[in-house]
Amino acid sequence: MLEISARLEEALNRAFIKVFPKEDQSSKTSSILTGSNLVPASKPEFGDFQINCALSLAKELKQSPREIAQKIADQLQKDNDFVQICNPPLIAGPGFINLSINAKTLISEIHFRLNDKRLGVPLKKFSSEKIEKGKNNNRVIIDFSSPNIAKEMHVGHLRSTIIGDSLARVLEFCGYEVLRLNHVGDWGTQFGMLITHLKEVVPEALHTKDVVEISDLVNFYRQAKKRFDEDPIFQNKSRNEVVNLQAGGQESLIAWQLLCKQSRNEFQKIYDRLDIKLIERGESFYNKFLVDVINDLKNKNLLINDQGAQCIFLDGVVGKDGKPQPIIIQKSDGGFNYATTDLAAIKYRLATPPYGDGAYRLIYVTDAGQASHFSGVFQIAKLANWIPADCQIEHVPFGLVQGEDGKKLKTRSGETIRLVDLLDEAIQRAREDLKDRLSTESRSESESFIDNVSTTVGIAAIKYADLSQNRVSNYQFSFDKMLSLQGNTAPYLLYALVRIAGISRKGGDLKVSSQNIQFEEPQEWALIRKLLQLDCIIAEVEKELLPNRLCGYLFELSQIFNRFYDQVPILKASEPSRASRLALCSITANTLKLGMSLLGIPTLERM
Ligand code: ARG
């Protein structure tokens, strides 16, 4: 529908020029006319698009809105391209113009999608000349997942991982070159504490592989943190240890590498199960650029010395006491902060290769709690002139994961939930649901079938439950809801696909290329119209970075398909309806598969 709506927009502008000649326009009318006046219909019974500007124009021109609407409609009817695409416009209510795409156009769009792998979604075109000059307006960086070494990955990181991956998939599909960066927390004071503590309690863990498990490591970290907070001598030792590490001390480096490796292996297990690809480039990578950041900010007179620390005060950034709060770029002991690393990262990511990544859009997927951190860091980068005019930098925040009681998600005994346990439980529950269903349906299936279906459904349910919420709001984690076959859930969508696969097993040839496609039922037209919206939805996600839009679309598509499937005969229909309906089944299946793959969710033929 993207191309069609663009053509309609052009036709509308041509009509405007005829009905409201430029020389007669006031500034007010011209601003109405240049706005975006073609909007999707608010209800399916109004057709496909609506033009609402007659009402505001009427006020300006002191004429009746219906008369104005009529003039626009008459003019549209004289436009060649318009009449190719649309049925005659209808004036409704006080002066709305309703447009519906004509059958011929809809059918030709359906024909096109039957043979188009991209299902009508255009591939972005980039200027090769610009790309050669290192101005990669096709390159996007998504910074996501990004857990911290020696700490366990928590549900917040799971959200970041799932949302970030889906955004990466959508942008990749649009044609961008996406750098999926895992900005792991692998640097800083936590290592000083941990190494100091381990030296005393399990020194062999600092030079021998696999002496401690990740869960032990997490406990050691907790103990170390406690000692750090309570014991000034331990604090001092830890600080020295950090200095040692940052200065490249051999022993410390080896210990650090071991600890990172251990965590990395653990993280990788989760990524493998979720089918997530990431490139690890942790905070430590930017260590060598930190001094440069300080010098650059100093040269631009942006730093203020506040009790020995190098700080920046930004407009509107105040502490809880309402006083201006500085962002500390370099601590009084010479150490650097989380923010300093992020500044170095911005510089590097935007710099032209070989000095950096040469990206044009930077996307950061973290919990909403980091919003002020990013807003501060982005402001500083702008003040320092590091963000070229055509580059975009965005924080993509998400809300908290809560239990069904609305409180922080915890185990029954009140501990933080481990991600592996969460995935295992989803799969286990999916398996129990499946076994119940098999026994009510008196079906017997192999163990490998049961394994495959429950793993797929379990993982799909977790991912979809997360993605289908508007990410900005908090989301309530409920196994029962996410695994239900009813409602906006992964199993519901998977089931629509299974139905289509069933049609094909029963002899319906989905590889239709029928020249003679015909439709008459309203359920068919409703399905066609929904199918043709895919390109608009993808364009929206690309821009607004909200995967829930895609989920909502796939859910509606499944509902409309199910209505069609329940109410209109397919295999039993006579030709040409049979082939035409099979064509719709085929495009629906491809659309669902593509949509799910962009969400990072695997699909099934049977379940
Ligand atoms: N490691 C951080 C955390 O666990 C997230 C890092 C996000 N990315 C960034 N460039 N700051 O909260």
What integer is the mean pLDDT of 61-86? 93
Q: What are the residues whose beta carbons fall under 8 Å from the beta carbon of 181, sequence distance 6 or more?
A: 141, 142, 143, 144, 278, 279, 281
CA atoms of 196 and 210, how far apart (whole Å): 18
> Could you give all domains of the chain from N- to C-terminal order, each with its CATH number?
2-101 (3.30.1360.70), 139-185+283-398 (3.40.50.620), 190-280 (no CATH), 419-598 (1.10.730.10)
Residue 29: strand, helix, or coil: helix
Residue with tokens 């000692």: 227
Distance 144 CA to ligand 1 centre (A): 8
What integer is the mean pLDDT of 573-597? 95
List C-alpha distances in Å: 352 to 129, 299, 420: 15, 21, 40
Nearest atom of ligand 1 to the alpha carbon of 157:
4
The residues lining ligand 1, judged by C-beta closer than 6 Å to any ligand atom, are 143, 146-148, 183, 185, 342, 345, 364, 366
Residue with tokens 């593509």: 594
CA atoms of 145 and 282, how far apart (whole Å): 11
pLDDT, tens digit (0-9, with 9 covering 90-100), for 552-577: 999 999 999 999 999 999 999 998 99
User: Both tokens of residue 581?
Assistant: 């309906």
Q: Which of 340, 359, 332, 313 is nearest to 178 (CA)?
A: 359
Cβ density class 474-485: b for 16+ within 10 Å, e for less: ebbbebeebbbe
**Mutational pocket test of ligand 1: of 159, 338, 366, the residue with most ligand atoms within 8 Å of the beta carbon:** 366
Count of positions (residues) in the chain: 607
Distance 338 CA to ligand 1 centre (A): 8
List C-alpha distances in Å: 396 to 449, 470, 480, 580, 606: 38, 12, 28, 42, 36
Q: What's the pLDDT score for residue 133?
A: 62
CA atoms of 366 and 394, how far apart (whole Å): 11
List C-alpha distances in Å: 208 to 249, 253, 256: 17, 13, 12
List C-alpha distances in Å: 80 to 18, 77, 84, 89, 108: 14, 8, 6, 14, 18
Nearest atom of ligand 1 to the alpha carbon of 366:
7
pLDDT, tens digit (0-9, with 9 covering 90-100), for 4-29: 999 999 999 999 989 888 777 788 88
Q: What are the residues whose beta carbons fall under 8 Å from the beta carbon of 527, sequence distance 6 or more?
A: 557, 560, 561, 564, 584, 588
Residue with tokens 């980068």: 381
Give, using CA atoms, the residue closest to atom 8 of ligand 1. Answer: 183
User: Both tokens of residue 280?
Assistant: 């690890």
Strand order in the sheet with 96-99: 38-40, 49-51, 96-99, 90-92
Give, using CA atoms, the residue closest to atom 5 of ligand 1. Answer: 146
pLDDT, tens digit (0-9, with 9 covering 90-100), for 426-468: 999 999 999 999 999 999 999 999 999 999 999 999 999 999 9
Top mean-pLDDT range of 35-49, 54-68, 331-345, 489-503: 489-503
Distance 457 CA to ligand 1 centre (A): 29
Strand ranges in 458-555 using DSSP code E only, listed in sequence order: 475-476
Q: What's the pLDDT score for residue 134?
A: 59
Angle at CA of residue 312, ends 311 and 315, nearest 5° = 150
Amino acid letter, residue 515: Q
Q: Which of 310, 316, 313 is nearest to 333 (CA)?
A: 310
Q: Which of 67-71, 128-132, 415-419, 490-494 shows the lowest per-residue confidence on average (mean pLDDT)? A: 128-132
Q: What's the pLDDT score for residue 514?
A: 63
Distance 224 CA to ligand 1 centre (A): 21
Could you report how far apart the first and last alpha carbons of the chain are, in Å?
A: 33
